Amino acid sequence: MIEHYRLQQIAYKSERAASRRLASAEGLSDEQALRRTLERAAGQAGLAALVEARSADRQAQAERDAARDALRAQKREQQARRHDGAVTAWRAWFDGSARPNPGRCGIGARLEGPDGTVEISQAAGHGNSSEAEYRALIALLEAAVARGVAGLTVYGDSQVVIGDVTGPDLLAAPSLLAYRSTARALMAQIDGLALRWVPRHKNSLADALSQRAFDLPTSDTDATELS
């Protein structure tokens, strides 16, 4: 006899509901009611054939689900590698915000490498969010140049700024030309520099530093070198 748990595994939701009604109406046990319901569904093929066919379907679906999950995991890994790039000696993150937009600007950056870590959190005047992002990038690049950094990957979540500073001159935003010129001059002084866009959730440290800058007086600068 086929075990009750196997019948429960292969029964459809509608069949389990129907078996409960049958059990209530005729005073049957749950097992008796479910068995009778599935025997009706099986028809002439018989209950054993129904269990075998549905068990095979469940196994095939489980294999499809596993293959789908593996493909999704592979795509996530590929996406992460595309964002992160090759491992370099130095890594850095930058972010900038404007409250409101345009309004008061705060910038944040973090530089990590063999010689230690530098965090930057500054009030940065007034402007829009793109200007704040550019100011954060420039402050970070200035810190890197001052330390003679080479082999640096810079991450930011501003598609506007990263696209502007790495794009062709013809597509540069006129309102950001001064920032672009300054940033590119600094970038030219760093050997092995790569600039990469990352989603906001992968830029949380720089974001926190930029938000902390709003707690500082406008004239204050906070640049901390950590061991």
pLDDT in tens, 32-46: 999 999 999 999 999
Q: Backbone dihedral region of 44: left (phi > 0), alpha (psi from -120 to 50 degrees) or beta?
A: alpha
Range scoring the smallest mean pLDDT among 79-88, 106-115, 177-186: 79-88
DSSP labels, 49-86: HHHHHHHHHHHHHHHHHHHHHHHHHHHHHHHHHHHH-S
Tens-place pLDDT, residues 126-157: 999 999 999 999 999 999 999 999 999 999 99
Q: With CA atoms as reference, report the closest residue to 183 among 203, 206, 166, 158.
A: 166
DSSP conformational letter for 113: E
pTM: 0.62
- Amino acid identity at 145: V
Indicate whether 224 pLDDT > 60. no
Using the structure block, give the residue that is written with the tokens 């749950």: 30
Give the DSSP H or E segment for 1: none
The identity of residue 202, as a single letter, is K
pLDDT classification of 79: cutoffs 50, 70, 90: low
H or E element, residue 194? strand 193-197
Task: Identify the structural domains of the chain with CATH numbers, from first to last.
Answer: 4-84 (no CATH), 90-226 (3.30.420.10)
pLDDT at 80: 59
What 3-state class would DSSP assign to 43? helix
d(CA 203, CA 220): 24
> How many helices (DSSP H) and strands (DSSP E) are in the chain?
8, 6
Integer Rg of the chain from CA: 31
At residue 72 the predicted structure's pLDDT band, cuts being 50, 70 and 90, is confident
pLDDT of res. 225: 54
Would you state the pLDDT for residue 219?
Answer: 47
Reported confidence tier of residue 1, pLDDT bands at 50, 70, 90: confident
Residues 89-119: tens digit of each pLDDT = 999 999 999 999 999 999 999 999 998 999 9
